[in-house]
Amino acid sequence: MKNFFLATYLAIKEVLRNRGRFLLVALVIALITVLVLFIAALGEGLSNANRQYVANLDAQLIVFLEKSDYSISASRLETNTAKSVRRVEGVADAGAIYTSNTQIVSLPEPLKISMLGAEAARPGMPPLLEGRYFRGGEAREAVMDMSVAQRTDLKIGDEIEIRSTQGTKDQFYTLKIVGLVGKQAYSFQPTIFVPASTWELMRPQSESDLNSDTPYPNIIAVKLQDPSQVAMMKLRLQDQVPNIEVADIETTINNIPGYTAQQGTVQTQGVFTLLIGILVIGGFFQIQILQKVPQIGVLKAIGASNGVVGLSAVIQIIIVTAIGVGIGAGLNYLFSLGLPPTIPLEFNGQRSLIAIALLLFIGPFGGMVSIIYAIRIEPLKALRLG
Amino acid sequence: MNSVALEVRDLVKTFSLDGTTINAVDGVSFQVKSGEFVALVGPSGSGKTTMLSIMAALLTPTSGQVLIDGQDLAKMNEKQRVRLRREKIGFTFQSNNLIPFLTARENVEFMLRLNGKLDRAGRVRSDELLARLGLMERLHSLPAQMSGGQQQRVAIARALIHNPAVVLADEPTASLDTERAFQVVETFAHLIHENDRAGIIVTHDLRMCQYVDRVLQMQDGKLVRVVEDKKEIMELAHGTLTH
Ligand SMILES: Nc1ncnc2c1ncn2[C@@H]1O[C@H](COP(=O)(O)OP(=O)(O)O)[C@@H](O)[C@H]1O
Ligand SMILES: [Mg+2]
């Protein structure tokens, strides 16, 4: 304990009396922090934009068409599959999900969206924040997600016009917004939800698609009575319902096109930035320790133990790193306030917290060599360097 | 009669360098009593710094004994030696004496802090000692803001503040002009005598000997002459001593 107080005393005095020098390193650490947090936020933002809807599903299993390799767009299920799934013992509920991309054109700037067909109050339809669900049948009603609301000034009660290319012609449809759900980005786009029959009518389709008028759901979201029975229920569903394959939510997310590759790239960038941070901090403290050899020699010669000298170096690095990360996180917070919603950066994710934890760790890690060096300086240096 | 604070018996230190062995210290014995101020003199390379390092428990001798306050350094482990250095020894070095980010007062007080003995009385004593050394106006100055002589005086205060048995000073006047050098050594001598410490000053400048009680002269690692007579010491200091 006495050693700890002595070490803290030395560390703090040195930082205070060399404010300029230490502030400079702290600022470098702050910039690295900004960079790392931006990358973390980008990772979080991109990942959300791609998987948010699937990750939020109130379901544990997803049913795909057999041999579709868990690709949502490649999977086309028979219309009555959802009914068969619901009859399987252990299934609490199941809802068919239909996916497509369209545009809202009744805006100053057309907005590309995901138009998802879902069944009101079934898995696949997110809980309402405001308004009501669309009615069934071919009701020309839609529920928008929060990202549509944030990027436009659309409100409940507004009418929107959708453009959809069918065969060789552009068709236009009008929908009334009746409800609002939380952020449900899918495939990097904001989302509107419509009833299945409306979806079938409005979705962009090729010439051949035009001849059939039964909606084909892409996937079915399955909510289990006992969410812990995922593995067993997956097998049971595949066994009892023909022509399907079943995946859990995580597998489904990892098979969203580009998801895994993109997250890998972002993570690599983050790791490299952290490595640069380690090198910068390591380099600074190593140079500093080399300049401090006589001073550390004197400290040891007059009776300071290796423990005090080493601990003081550690405390100093932690102080400087913490100040740097603090400044960086503060700067980041200011930046995040001024960001428009279209930029896929999310600072409140778990990733930002992990990044901050890692950043606090890189100081002592980068400074390790210099700490060992400090401990090994011989007190005789006080006399011999003269 | 004052007690023996430091005793050196048949001290030998050899270095091996590129196959040749150097006898840096070669069979040196002497005692220093409390209240006694001794100069260790000799030309460059005669073994003075090596002697000092061994007496300060910074270097292990090849053979021989060092006893500080009756304790044999060879019988201590490293932890005990570190403790001995901060409790029983006071140090001044040739240069880079002070902790650069601590003020004059903080440097002196640090010695008490190290020993867990920084209380109100200690603070008062530290300021008194600095005042005694003419540094009243420099209490809050950092080493870089002080002259070489002022830094040496702060170092002397630091070497004495914790009442060590032995005070060791390596070339304290090396970076000072003559007048300041005399002042520093004179004050040093006063404080050693007043506080009843055993003081050893290493110097190659014989003129500094006029303030000491005994001169130990080294040559090639050996103690070649001991001058104890006050008259002879003065002659040595003025360069008029023959034989
Ligand atoms: N670490 C060492 N390794 C090899 N030789 C050394 C070492 N330290 C001192 N010496 C040698 O020991 C002798 C005495 O050196 P030193 O004690 O520094 O003398 P002084 O302080 O009187 O100038 C010199 O010849 C020096 O070269
Ligand atoms: Mg020397």
Question: Residue A265: what residue type?
Answer: T
**Using a CB-CB distance cutoff of 8 angstroms, which residues of chain A are in contact with residue B102?**
13, 17
Q: Looking at residue A386, what is its pLDDT?
A: 42
Question: pLDDT value at position B243?
Answer: 63
B95 and A301 in contact by Cβ < 8 A? no
Give the tens place of pLDDT for each residue, A153-209: 899 999 999 998 887 888 899 999 999 999 888 888 899 999 988 998 888 887 766
pLDDT band at A385 (very low <50, low <70, confident <90, very high): low
Amino acid at site A197: S
Q: What is the 3-state secondary structure (H, E, C) of B65-125?
A: EEEECCEEHHHCCHHHHHHHHHHHEEEECCCCCCCCCCCHHHHHHHHHHHCCCCCHHHHHH
Give the whole-angstrom CA distance, residue B152 versus residue B144: 12
Q: Residue whose CA is closest, atom 16 of ligand 1?
A: B47
Per-residue pLDDT at A382: 72
Using the atom order of ligand 1, give the atom closest to the CA of residue B221: 14
Question: Would you say residue B1 has pLDDT above 60?
Answer: no
Strands A159-166 and A91-104: antiparallel
User: CB of A385 within 8 Å of any CB in chain B?
Assistant: yes
Judged by CB atoms closer than 8 Å, whether chains meet at A301 and B56 is answered as: yes
Buried b (16+ CB within 10 A) or exposed e, A228-251: eebeebbebbeeebeebbbbebee
Average pLDDT, chain A: 88
User: Which amino acid type is present at position B127?
Assistant: D
Q: How far is CA B1 from CA A74, A197, B105, B216, in A?
A: 104, 114, 35, 22
Ligand 1 contact via B48 beta carbon (within 6 Å): yes
Neighbours of B73 (CB within 10 A): 18
How confident is the model over B11-70, as pLDDT tens digits?
Answer: 999 999 888 999 999 999 999 999 999 999 999 899 999 999 999 999 999 999 999 999
What's the rounded Cα separation, in Å, for the pair A101 and A108? 19
Cα of B86 vs centre of ligand 2, distance in Å, is: 22
Which amino acid is present at B225?
Answer: R
Q: What is the DSSP letter of B2?
A: P
Which residues of chain A does B89 touch, with a Cβ-Cβ cutoff of 8 Å?
303
Provide, rounded to the nearest whole percent, the portion of chain A with pLDDT above 70. 96
- Residue A350's identity, in one-letter code, is Q
B22 CB under 6 A from ligand 1? Answer: yes
**Closest residue by CA, ligand 1 atom 27:** B45
Of B94, B111, B158, Cβ closest to residue A386: B94
More confident residue, B94 or B118: B118
Where do the domains of chain B lie?
Answer: 4-237
User: What CATH code is assigned to B4-237?
Assistant: 3.40.50.300
Res. B233: pLDDT tops 80: yes
Chain B nearest-CA residue for A381: B58
Determine, for residues A13 and B101 on separate chains, whether the beta-carbon distance falls below 8 Å. yes
Inter-chain residue contact A384 with B82, CB threshold 8 Å = no
Say yes or no for a CB contact (<8 Å) between A383 and B49: yes
Model pLDDT, residue A23: 94
Question: Among all chains, which residue has been given the structure tokens 């001794």?
Answer: B38
- Distance between CA A324 and CA A326 in Å, rounded? 5
Instruction: Select the residue of B79, B96, B113 nearest A295 (Cβ to Cβ).
Output: B96
- Residue of the CA atom closest to atom 3 of ligand 1: B15
pTM of structure: 0.77
Least confident of A32-46, A109-123, A221-235, B193-207: A32-46
The pLDDT score that the predictor gives to residue A30 is 92
